[in-house]
């Protein structure tokens, strides 16, 4: 089925089965490999992208339901104010270890800050507990979200 | 950071700088060949200065460092460049990094004699070789400049890729003298820097691998993309050791995008235009399995087998004093501790991309064992080793899972049946159910107490000998040196001390290394027993340990600082406790205090974690902190949830809903204090995983009085009103 989506601000047309999850369209058809496969059942958050600014798990999101919607991935989130702040805080505080889950972590954090510019610990827990990090970077993720929210420079 | 995956020119030309053998105090002393080669004159044919396998400088001054160890999150793509750049006086911010190609000779870890990243050996083993490599290259560049200027090398200084002759004010970049330097013979016995002059080592320099990890540019093995590639996913027989009986692929072949069904003897793969087609095709297959001899194995049999084995006498790994006399002195206590199978669950599932051509095989993956992958792939491909090209990548977690070549071997077998390149991705379910599991272990301890001190200590480990399969020279006289690591060198001063090992291979279930390796089991059992003995002796757990750590001053100092920083001894609310773990493994000395609460239902929550680490010179102190924070969470995840169970020869868990991970809302602040030290660097990546479980268990013991002796934590034993 021919589908057109706006991805990171650009219109992209492609052929894909309607039930194909957005994750595999991004990775295997469009070559945007920054969005990661972790579990396939929306349990780990590695595949998180934004649809119209909201964080969603792309591994269970059929692309057929998305025609005309606007998708932001890790490759494009730096162009958003919240995304840029999150990326900077992530580097300032050296959040990342292996980094495989961090595309998803950054997308979840950027969506959180867009909706809730000054999140408290419970806001962070609610927004981020769907994202697993096997390297265990949670302490720094929490600190980096707070830094990104405050605009404080390291 | 830019990383290029393939670099055959250096593998042909360059050699490891000499003078590196021996002299390391390492936890592993393996009877394998040394990998260190004598100094060879550099080859200048490509116009680059390449004095050894790790450093290349071209005439523009571009400096490329080839990484002999792989980056899987532990920060080695920053710590190794720090070590080389320190002695080379390169500009660390400007270096380019490359993944090493397969070569045990050039890139073998000096401890193993193999190109393997594991056992917290990277910085420990390469510390001196890479400092020497950097210093030797620097000396050659200085020599070239000094010859051009007709001055003495000793009157020249270097900084950030530039040579200065202060007396005349002249300067030359490394690039300007690269060609001349490449014609010089490498000098021997080049002096290394005085640590007081370090500009990179010991500093929390920014990681070189992370800028590309915030914007999706970093390339992991699973991200390899090639023109005209296909995508495949696999189903292996759910029963260990089972085979394919027959496959009905009628429905699968009707799935849009499915190109091929590959039936191998033990697994089936579907190849398609994308992963979704492959996965839908796989789901549409009807596979009949010949389940084989393991179809009835269950966890009860696994444990019965292990418990029976642990009752036998083992091979003696160490014996000091007179254990019979020791065990006949004072009051005797016995306890046994049991740990479950664990999967690795790297966030990046197993994956490999392979392009089979008639006369060559090219592989794109992320592995901890680059050279072994090449050798095993060659066997599977039916090609000579030199016809197999391995492009290694960043790893989305390793934790020991990618010390096995199975994913690449399977991908080669599938690629042999596929035209063009094929990327094989394991679903999470296949990844969890076809792991090499951290073995079940049972540790039986008999100890005697007299006057509040331990007089006799008999410790018996029963469990899988991973080394016997993975590195046979390390399995000798019935002793697996990994399985007894931390048991034979426990830190406490005990006059009569005896350690035995019983090899017990679990029925059906394959076993492998898991973060923390052998000490992950032994530190748990030792530290749990220490708390139980402290209680028998009527002593505070820290005070009890303090009396036996006189010969381990670094560990004692770490424990005292951890007690101070954690408020050890200060009052706590009901059902809240503090637990301690001290560990001297991997030449790093760590003391950890966990404060935890147990609610009336037995649910456990973490309140505070404090860890003090003396790892010698911390090459990158911020990475050390990060590894402790993350390692603790890795270990605590296992303590709270980790349990792979077997039924009908199959693993019962399949994904993160039933193989649970700690999440951000369960993790308190983790405070790590790094002790300043001038000792050589210790290992760090494994350590945190070992500190968490015993410290948590001891906190629960303090909070409830329940002495848990199995993991994961059994909440039902902790509910109010239950007796353990």
Average pLDDT over residues B188-206: 97
Segment B52-97, tens digit of pLDDT: 999 999 999 999 999 999 999 999 999 999 999 999 999 999 999 9
B108 and B364 Cβ atoms separated by less than 8 Å: no
Largest CA distance in chain A: 48
Percent of chain B residues topping a pLDDT of 90: 92
The neighbour count for residue B2, using CB atoms within 10 Å, is 10
CA-to-CA distance for B280 and B257, rounded, in angstroms? 9
- The residue of chain A nearest to residue B217, with distances taken between CA atoms, is A34
CA-to-CA distance for B385 and B412, rounded, in angstroms? 14
The neighbour count for residue A65, using CB atoms within 10 Å, is 11
H helical segments located in B289-361: 299-310, 323-327
A118 and A149 Cβ atoms separated by less than 8 Å: yes
Q: Do A39 and B667 touch (CB under 8 A)?
A: no
Segment B668-721, tens digit of pLDDT: 999 999 999 999 999 999 999 999 999 999 999 999 999 999 999 999 999 998
Question: What band does B112 get if pLDDT is binned at 50, 70 and 90?
Answer: confident
Distance from CA of B367 to the nearest CA of A (A): 13
Q: State ipTM.
A: 0.98
Kindly report the length of chain A: 154
Of B1-5, B438-442, B677-681, the least confident: B1-5
B591 and B690 Cβ atoms separated by less than 8 Å: no
Question: Which residue is associated with the tokens 């966990």?
Answer: B594
- The residue of chain B nearest to residue A44, with distances taken between CA atoms, is B656
Q: Find all residues with CB under 8 Å of B68, minimum gap 6, and list them.
A: B53, B54, B80, B100, B106, B107, B108, B109, B115, B126
Distance from CA of B301 to the nearest CA of A (A): 30
Q: What is the DSSP code (8-state) at residue B476?
A: E
Q: Count the alpha carbons within 13 Å of B35 in the hemisphere toward its beta carbon.
A: 22
Chain B partners within 8 Å of A141 (Cβ): 664
Burial of B265 (0-12, 13-18, 19+ CB in 10 A): exposed
pTM over 0.90: yes
Indicate whether B1 pLDDT > 90.
no
pLDDT at res. B8: 32
Chain A partners within 8 Å of B207 (Cβ): 94, 96
Q: What is the 3-state secondary structure (H, E, C) of B565-608?
A: HHCCCCCCCCCEEEEEEEECHHHCEEEEEEEEEECCCCCEEEEE
Pairs of residues, one from chain A and one from chain B, whose beta carbons lie less than 8 Å apart: 186
CA-to-CA distance for B459 and B526, rounded, in angstroms? 9
State the Cα torsion B352-B355-B361-B364 to the nearest 10°: -30
CA-to-CA distance for A72 and A48, rounded, in angstroms? 10
Q: In this complex, which of A24, A33, A90 lies closest to B214 when CB atoms are compared? A: A90
Q: What is the DSSP code (8-state) at residue B316?
A: E
Q: Going by DSSP bridges, is the β-strand pair B589-598/B604-614 parallel, antiparallel, or unpaired?
A: antiparallel
B613 and B674 Cβ atoms separated by less than 8 Å: yes
pLDDT at res. B111: 86
């Amino acid at each position: 089925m021919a589908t057109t989506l706006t991805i990171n601000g650009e219109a992209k047309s492609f052929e894909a089965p309607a039930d194909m999850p957005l994750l595999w369209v991004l990775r295997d058809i469009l070559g945007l490999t920054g969005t990661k496969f972790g579990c396939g059942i929306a349990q780990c958050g590695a595949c998180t992208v934004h649809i119209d600014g909201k964080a969603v798990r792309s591994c269970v999101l059929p692309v057929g339901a998305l025609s005309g919607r606007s998708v932001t991935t890790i490759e494009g989130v730096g162009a958003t104010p919240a995304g840029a702040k999150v990326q900077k805080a992530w580097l300032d505080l050296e959040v990342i270890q292996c980094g495989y889950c961090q595309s998803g972590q950054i997308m979840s954090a950027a969506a959180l800050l867009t909706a809730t510019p000054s999140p408290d610990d419970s806001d962070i827990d609610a927004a981020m507990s769907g994202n697993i990090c096997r390297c265990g970077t949670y302490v720094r993720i929490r600190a980096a979200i707070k830094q990104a929210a405050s605009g404080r420079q390291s | 950071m830019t990383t290029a995956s393939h670099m055959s020119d250096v593998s042909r030309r360059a050699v490891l700088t000499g003078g590196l053998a021996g002299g390391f105090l390492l936890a592993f002393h393996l009877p394998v060949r040394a990998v260190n080669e004598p100094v060879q004159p550099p080859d200048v044919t490509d116009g680059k200065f390449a004095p050894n396998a790790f450093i290349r400088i071209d005439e523009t001054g571009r400096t490329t460092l080839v990484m002999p160890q792989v980056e899987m999150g532990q920060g080695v793509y920053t710590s190794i460049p720090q070590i080389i750049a320190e002695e080379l006086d390169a500009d660390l911010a400007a270096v380019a990094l490359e993944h090493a190609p397969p070569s045990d000779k050039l890139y073998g870890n000096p401890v193993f004699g193999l190109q393997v990243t594991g056992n917290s050996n990277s910085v420990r083993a390469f510390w001196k070789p890479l400092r020497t490599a950097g210093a030797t290259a620097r000396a050659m560049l200085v020599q070239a400049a000094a010859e051009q200027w007709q001055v003495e090398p000793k009157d020249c200084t270097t900084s950030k890729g530039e040579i200065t002759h202060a007396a005349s004010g002249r300067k030359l970049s490394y690039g300007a003298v690269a060609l001349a330097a490449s014609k010089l013979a490498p000098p021997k016995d080049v002096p290394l820097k005085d640590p007081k002059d370090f500009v990179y080592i010991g500093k929390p320099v920014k990681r070189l691998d992370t800028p590309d990890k915030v914007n999706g540019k970093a390339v992991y093995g699973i991200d390899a993309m090639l023109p005209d590639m296909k995508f495949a996913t696999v189903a292996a027989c759910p029963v260990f050791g089972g085979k394919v009986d027959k496959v009905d692929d009628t429905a699968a072949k009707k799935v849009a995008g499915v190109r091929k069904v590959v039936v191998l003897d033990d697994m089936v793969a579907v190849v398609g235009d994308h992963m979704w087609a492959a996965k839908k095709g796989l789901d549409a297959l009807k596979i009949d399995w010949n389940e084989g001899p393991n179809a009835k194995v269950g966890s009860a049999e696994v444990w019965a087998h292990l418990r029976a084995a642990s009752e036998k006498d083992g091979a003696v790994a160490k014996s000091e004093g007179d254990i019979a006399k020791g065990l006949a002195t004072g009051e005797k206590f016995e306890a046994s501790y049991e740990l479950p199978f664990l999967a690795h669950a790297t966030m990046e599932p197993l994956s490999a991309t392979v392009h089979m051509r008639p006369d060559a095989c090219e592989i794109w993956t992320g592995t901890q064992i680059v050279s072994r992958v090449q050798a095993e792939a060659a066997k599977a491909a039916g090609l000579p080793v030199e016809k197999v090209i391995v492009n290694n990548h960043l790893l989305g977690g390793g934790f020991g899972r990618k010390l096995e070549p199975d994913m690449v071997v399977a991908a080669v077998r599938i690629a042999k049946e596929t035209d063009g390149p094929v990327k094989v991705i394991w679903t999470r379910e296949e990844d969890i159910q076809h792991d090499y599991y951290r073995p079940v272990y049972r540790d039986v301890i008999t100890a005697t107490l007299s006057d509040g001190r331990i007089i006799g200590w008999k410790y018996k480990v029963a469990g899988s000998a991973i080394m016997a399969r993975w590195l046979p020279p390390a399995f000798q006289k019935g002793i697996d040196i990994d399985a007894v690591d931390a048991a034979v060198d426990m830190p406490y001063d005990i006059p009569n001390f005896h350690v035995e090992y019983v090899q017990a291979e679990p029925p059906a279930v394959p076993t492998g290394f898991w973060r923390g390796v052998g000490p992950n089991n032994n530190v748990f059992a030792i530290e749990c027993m220490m708390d139980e003995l402290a209680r028998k002796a009527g002593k505070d757990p820290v005070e009890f340990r303090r009396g036996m750590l006189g010969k381990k001053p670094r560990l004692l100092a770490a424990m005292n600082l951890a007690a101070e920083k954690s408020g050890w001894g200060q009052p706590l609310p009901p059902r809240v406790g503090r637990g301690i773990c001290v560990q001297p493994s991997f030449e790093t000395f760590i003391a950890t205090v966990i404060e935890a609460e147990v609610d009336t239902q037995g649910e456990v929550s973490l309140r505070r974690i404090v860890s003090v680490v003396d790892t010698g010179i911390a090459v990158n102190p911020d990475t050390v902190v990060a590894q402790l924070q993350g390692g603790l969470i890795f270990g605590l995840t296992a303590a709270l949830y980790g349990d792979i169970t077997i039924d009908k020869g199959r693993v019962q868990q399949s994904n993160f809903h039933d193989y649970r991970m700690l999440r951000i809302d369960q993790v308190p602040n983790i405070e790590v204090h790094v002790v300043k030290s001038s000792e050589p660097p210790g290992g760090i990546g494994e350590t945190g995983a070992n500190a968490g479980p015993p410290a948590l268990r001891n906190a629960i013991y303090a909070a409830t009085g329940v002495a848990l002796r199995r993991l994961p934590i059994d909440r039902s034993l902790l509910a109010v009103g239950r007796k353990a």
